Amino acid sequence: MSTSKTLRLGLIGAGRMGSFHGLTAARHIPGACLAAIADPTPGQAARLAAELDVQKVYTDPQQLLDDPDIDAVLIAAPARSHAELVINAARAGKGVFCEKPMAITLDEADRAIAAAADARVTLQVGFNRRFARSFRTAHLDVVAGRIGTPQLLRSLTRDPALNNPAASPQWVIFLETLIHDFDTLRYLNPGAEAVEVFVMADALIAPAYKDKGFLDTAVVTIRFDNGAIATAEANFQAVYGYDVRGEVFGSAGMLTMGNVNDSDLLRYLANGVQADTQRMDTDLLRDAYVAELNHFVSCVRSGEKPLASGEDARAALAIARACIESFQLGKPVRVQGAHS
C-alpha cells in the first residue's frame, strides 16, 4: 500500500473501548483517518460520529465491511462477536485490528487466523501491554539476556470496581481479563510456551453470583516448557485504583514493571504519604493504546507482521481455555497444543 495515501479506518463497536479507539484513530494516528463507524445499538454510532466528525454511519457492521473506501477496520464489539467479524473483515480484504480476545474458542481462533492468512491481510490483536514502554523494555532486556534465564514470572490485573456482575459473560475473568496477563507472561518469556496450568478462583466480591458462573478473583499458576513457573492473578475490586504490574526473575537479575500511581507526585502530609492513582485502563495505559494503533497502521502499510499477532492471541486463548477446565476439574490441566 502506498505510504502517501491516507489510510481510511472503519470502527466496529462504539461503546467505551470503541469510543476510545475511535478518538485515537481520528486524532492521534498520522497518515490515517477514521472514515466510518458501525454499531447495531440505536444511535450509538451516530453519537460518536458526531463527536469525531465522521461522515459514514452504519447500524450493520457488514455494511461497513462492504464499503470499498475502507482500508482497514478496528473491532471493538462485544467479545463473543470478534471471531466472525475478523473472518468477515479479512474476506472483505480489510486489515484487521481486533480487541482482545480475538476469539472465545480455539476453533474460532484457527478460522480467524486462516481467514487473514488466506486474504493476506494484517491481523493484530489488542494486547496493549506489549506497547507499554516498561513492558516493551523488559521484553527486550530478557531477549538480550540481561537477567539470564527466566525462572519466575508474575503478571497481575486488578480493576478498581466491579460493575454489574449479572451482565458479565461466563468466564470473563479468564477470557477477557487474565487473557492480557497470559499474553504478557508469554511476552516476558520469549520463545517459551505454556504447557500446564492450575487455577484457584472464587467470587469473593460478589459471592451471590458464583452459582451463575461468575468469578471475580483468580490466581493461575503456569508452567512453561523452558522450566519457568509463572503466576497470573486478577481481582475486580482494587479500591485504590487500576493496577497492572509485571515481574520477571531470572538467573542473573530481576525486572519489574507497572505502577499504580498517576504520576511521581507524592504528598507528605500530617496523616501520611499520599499518591493519586488511575481509575481507567485507558488512562493508566493510554500511551500503549495509542502506540498499538499506530503500529497497526504501520503494519497495514508495510505488510510487516504485528507485534501482537493472531497466533499470539490463540496461544493466550489456549491458556485461558485450560484455566476454565482446571477450575472445573480442580486439578492441573495441560494446555491444548502444548508439547512435552
Stretch(es) of the chain classified as CATH 3.40.50.720: 7-121
pLDDT at 2: 55
> Helix 286-302 vs helix 16-27: angle between axes, to the nearest 10 degrees?
60
Q: How far is CA 53 from CA 8, 9, 45, 57, 312, in A?
A: 14, 14, 12, 11, 34
What would the mean pLDDT of 294-322 be, rounded to a whole number?
Answer: 98
Flag whether pLDDT at 339 surpasses 70.
no
Of residues 280 and 184, more confidently modeled? 184
Average pLDDT, the chain: 96
Burial 245-260 (b: 16+ CB within 10 A, else e): bbbbbbeeeebebbbb
* H-helix or E-strand spanning residue 314: helix 310-329
pLDDT at 291: 98
pLDDT at 104: 98
Distance CA(108)–CA(116), nearest Å, equals: 13
Burial 37-73 (b: 16+ CB within 10 A, else e): bbbeeeebbbebbeebebebbbeebeebbebeebbbb
The three-point CA angle 250-188-131 to 5° equals: 140
Q: How does pLDDT run across 18-38, given as a tens digit for each residue?
A: 999 999 999 999 999 999 999
Stretch(es) of the chain classified as CATH 3.30.360.10: 130-287+316-334
Dihedral sign for Cα atoms in the order 249, 255, 258, 261: positive
Distance CA(254)–CA(251), nearest Å, equals: 8
Q: How far apart are the first and last CA of the chain?
A: 42
% of the chain residues with pLDDT over 90: 92
What would the mean pLDDT of 136-141 be, rounded to a whole number?
Answer: 98
What secondary structure does DSSP assign to 321-336, as a single string? Answer: HHHHHHHHHTS-EEPT
What would the mean pLDDT of 293-298 be, rounded to a whole number?
Answer: 98
pLDDT at 340: 45
* H-helix or E-strand spanning residue 222: strand 217-224
**For the purposes of burial, counting CB atoms within 10 Å of the CB of 13, is it exposed (0-12), middle (13-18) or buried (19 or more)?**
buried
pTM across the whole model = 0.96
Phi, psi of 280 (to 5 degrees): -130, 140
CATH of domain 130-287+316-334: 3.30.360.10
Q: Residue 259: which pLDDT band, with cuts at 50, 70 and 90?
A: confident
Provide the 8-state DSSP code for 261: B
Phi, psi of 151 (to 5 degrees): -125, -40
| Residue among 177, 155, 156, 159 nearest 240 (CA) | 159
CATH of domain 7-121: 3.40.50.720
What would the mean pLDDT of 174-199 be, rounded to a whole number?
Answer: 98
Q: How does pLDDT run across 189-240, given as a tens digit for each residue?
A: 999 999 999 999 999 999 999 988 899 999 999 999 999 999 999 999 999 9
